[in-house]
Amino acid sequence: MENEPTPSRMAQFFHLPNIWALILGVAVIVCTAILCNTISMRDSAPRTVAVTGSGSRQMRSDWIVWIGTITSFHSTDKVQCAGQLKKSREAVAAYLKEQGIDSTRFEFSSINVEDKEERLYNNDGDFIGKKFLGYEMSQQVTIQTDDIDRVKFISRDITSLLSDGVDIASCTPSYYLRNLGDLKLSLIDEATENAKTRAKKLIKGFAKLSDIAKIDIGVFQITGLYSDEDYSYGGSYNTTSEWKEVSVTVHATYGIK
């Protein structure tokens, strides 16, 4: 029939035998290539394991600092007030020497002088002035030594001088650890080894541990032993407990293979 339309070459092309099978095959090859490349890129990324290790040590403090405050008072005479303080200071020094504290281990601070006054008010509660009560002088005595037990006893017993007319107040001793530099290095080693042990346990049976890729050292925490103290973001240093726990953490990243 002369008026019947003739198919275009494009239409004839898509009606060729097996053309759709060919297109599908090409698509499968392209998708497979993309998938393989993705897997290859994923496998080439570094394989690591991140762990946190800790190191701690329980220790008794090896240094003690104690402070006592001697006070004298006189209602009218500053010279007599100073004389009373001098006698009290001499009595304290004699007591410390009797207790076995060498004079090189304790020292007295400068003297603080204060005019004691009383604020006065009328019946309506209005301030009307001050009344002079007298002179008060105070002086601190400080002991620093490694003789922990001796100073602990002194801090509790020295108020017995009150019966001799010595007005002295005893502060709670402070306890410290010396040579913290060496201890910190030792704990870092311990924490790092602990991190490595944890990493090995995590990947046991699946991979092998490789070299360390990254390590961050946390702050040191010095807390009272068996206390409920919270760790501080910037690190803590307990001085009220004789027995302490010193700890540090490290955050380590190891390669695996």
HSE at residue 83, side-chain half, CA atoms within 13 A, is: 5
Q: What is the pLDDT of residue 39?
A: 40
In this prediction, residue 207 has a pLDDT band, given cuts at 50, 70 and 90, of confident
pLDDT tens sequence across 17-75? 555 455 555 555 545 544 444 444 344 556 889 999 999 999 999 999 999 999 999 99
* DSSP structural state of residue 164: G
The answer to whether residues 56 and 246 touch, using CB atoms and an 8 Å cutoff, is yes
* pLDDT band for position 8 (cuts 50, 70, 90): low
Residues 6+ apart with CB under 8 A from 187: 55, 56, 57, 220, 246, 247, 248
- Mean pLDDT of all residues in 179-195: 94
Select, from the ranges 165-169, 203-207, 210-214, the one with the highest average predicted confidence (pLDDT): 165-169
> What is the rounded CA–CA span in Å between residue 61 and residue 177?
5
Q: Which of the two residues, 227 and 144, has the higher pLDDT score?
A: 144
Q: Which helix (H) or strand (E) covers residue 83, if one does?
A: helix 78-98
Q: pLDDT band at 168, cuts 50/70/90?
A: very high
pLDDT for the residue 19: 54
Cα–Cα dist 74/70, whole Å: 14
**How many other CB atoms are found less than 10 A from the CB of residue 220?**
18
- The Cα–Cα gap between 11 and 216 comes to 68
CATH architecture assigned to 63-176: 2-Layer Sandwich (3.30)
pLDDT at 196 over 60: yes
What secondary structure letter does DSSP report for 98? H
Comparing 12 with 130, which gets the higher pLDDT? 130
Using the predicted structure, report yes or no on whether residue 79 has a pLDDT greater than 90.
Answer: yes
Fold of 46-60+178-256: Translation Initiation Factor IF3 (3.30.110)
Mean pLDDT of the chain: 86
**Tokens, residue 236:** 């803590």
With beta carbons less than 8 A apart as the criterion, state whether 96 and 66 touch.
Answer: no
Please check the confidence at residue 166 and state whether its pLDDT lies above 90. yes
Q: How far is CA 107 from the centre of its chain?
A: 31
Tell me, what's the pLDDT at 239? 96
Q: For 110-161, how does the pLDDT look when each residue is reduced to its tens digit (9 = 90+)? A: 999 999 999 999 999 999 999 999 999 999 999 999 999 999 999 999 999 9
What is the DSSP code string of 175-229?
A: EE-S-HHHHHHHHHHHHHHHHHHHHHHHHTTT--EEEEEEEEE---EEEETT--P
- Model confidence band, residue 7 (pLDDT cutoffs 50, 70, 90): low
Q: What is the largest CA-CA distance in the chain?
A: 144
